[in-house]
Amino acid sequence: MSDNIDEFFEAALSLVKTAGNLITEYREGCKLFELKSSDIDLVTEIDKKVEETLINGLSNKFPDHKFIGEETVSDGGKCELTDDPTWVIDPVDGTMNFVHGFPHSCISVGLMINKVGVAGIVYNPILQQLFTAKKGQGAYLNGKPIHVSQMTELKKALITFETGTSRDEERYKAMLENFQLIVNKGHGVRSLGSAALNMCMVALGGADAYFEFGIHAWDIAAGAVIVREAGGVCIDPAGGPLDVLSRRVLAAGTTELAQELAQTLVQFYPERD
Ligand code: LIP
């Protein structure tokens, strides 16, 4: 099995690096975009081209593999996770950043087999940050091993957090209440505008935890493998096991911090993918 995963990973990595060139042409920002579910949920032609490059390349090499791609699902495709090898892809995670030229956008590619994350690639081609992990083989930034922080207390923790891409009133209310809670109780809040890169900051040990309500499987599949291989935990924000289709995630360097956050956060339950 691990030989296959190495082969799958190497093929994906080569395609991700190629697709990254489509993003780096827009250092000042990709000003042409369309709206999806709200006026802050954007998609560009590059999102679609990157996803097409990855899915075509991987399905040519591995015809029996399945795909969950953000833009394919957005265009009406199935969002179905089976036991088959499934690539869970966000072609440009942080599309709002990409449009504005804020250099924190990435290609996020996760591989799940039997519904378990076995490989993750998160690549920010603008800043040349390549986060990678394979199950049981550790997590890396540009080929160097990375490890989560050992922070166990919220009062000393730096938490990454997002405002999201929907203006749903109930979600907003929970998001703002949680923002205030974390600011009052912790060391501070940071918001990169990309779930995948927020999770990589946890894997790097630069942030102590990340949580979000409203993300999708493609935002977190790769980051979950990278955080876990860096020694961290990825769970449901209420403390139970992570369900990548629940649109809820909590990643942390330690179980203790994760559980304290789970007891502290105001919960929100989006409609599942
Ligand atoms: C984004 C996520 C981010 C979240 C946004 C959006 P996109 O992904 O990475 O964490 O807050 O709502 O979903 O839409 O840029 O691929």
**Domain segments of the chain: what residues?**
2-146, 154-264
- Joined together, the tokens standing for residue 77 give 């495709």
Answer whether 2-146 and 154-264 agree in fold. no
Q: How many CB atoms lie within 10 A of CB 126?
A: 19
- Cβ of residue 54 lying under 6 Å from some atom of ligand 1: no
Q: Rounded to the nearest 5 degrees, what angle is found at the Cα of 28, between the Cα atoms of 26 and 33?
A: 65
- Cβ of residue 260 lying under 6 Å from some atom of ligand 1: no
C-alpha 45/C-alpha 52 separation (Å) is 11
Mean pLDDT of 191-205: 98
Mean pLDDT of 173-201: 97
Specify the pLDDT at position 3.
64
Q: Which residues contact 4 (CB under 8 A, 6 or more apart)?
A: none
Q: Is beta strand 139-141 parallel, antiparallel or unpaired with respect to 158-160?
A: unpaired
Nearest-atom number in ligand 1 for the CA of 90 is 16
Specify the pLDDT at position 27.
86
> Considering only CA atoms, which residue is closest to atom 11 of ligand 1?
164
Percent of the chain with pLDDT over 70: 99
> Considering only CA atoms, which residue is closest to atom 10 of ligand 1?
195
**CATH class given for the domain over 154-264:** alpha beta
Taking only the tens place, the pLDDT of each residue in 253-267 is 999 999 999 999 999
Specify the pLDDT at position 96.
97
Q: Is 128 a residue whose pLDDT tops 60?
A: yes
Taking phi over 0 as left and psi of -120 to 50 as alpha, with beta for the rest, 142 belongs to left
The label of the residue with tokens 């942390």 reads 252
- pLDDT band of residue 2 (cuts 50, 70, 90) is low
**Within 13 Å of residue 108, how many CA atoms lie on the same side as its CB?**
31
- Joined together, the tokens standing for residue 44 give 């560009």
**CATH class given for the domain over 2-146:** alpha beta
Q: Rounded to the nearest 5 degrees, what angle is found at the Cα of 43, between the Cα atoms of 164 and 214?
A: 25
Mean pLDDT of 96-119: 98
Computed over every residue of the chain, the mean pLDDT equals 97
Mean pLDDT of 137-153: 98
- Cβ of residue 223 lying under 6 Å from some atom of ligand 1: no
Binding residues for Mg(2+), as ranges, are 70, 90, 93, 219
Q: Which residues contact 62 (CB under 8 A, 6 or more apart)?
A: 8, 11, 85
Mean pLDDT of 132-141: 98
pTM of the model as a whole: 0.97
Give, in order, the Cα–Cα distances in Å from 12 to each of 34, 59, 187, 215, 253.
27, 11, 37, 23, 27
Task: Return the SS3 of 19.
Answer: helix
Taking only the tens place, the pLDDT of each residue in 68-80 is 999 999 999 989 9
Specify the pLDDT at position 161.
93
Smallest Cα–Cα separation from 265: which of 273, 252, 227?
Answer: 252
Specify the pLDDT at position 258.
98
Mean pLDDT of 215-236: 98
Q: Is 1 a residue whose pLDDT tops 60?
A: no
- pLDDT band of residue 189 (cuts 50, 70, 90) is very high
Q: Is 159 a residue whose pLDDT tops 60?
A: yes
Specify the pLDDT at position 108.
98
Amino acid symbol at 194? S
Taking only the tens place, the pLDDT of each residue in 7-62 is 999 999 999 999 999 999 998 899 999 999 999 999 999 999 999 999 999 999 99
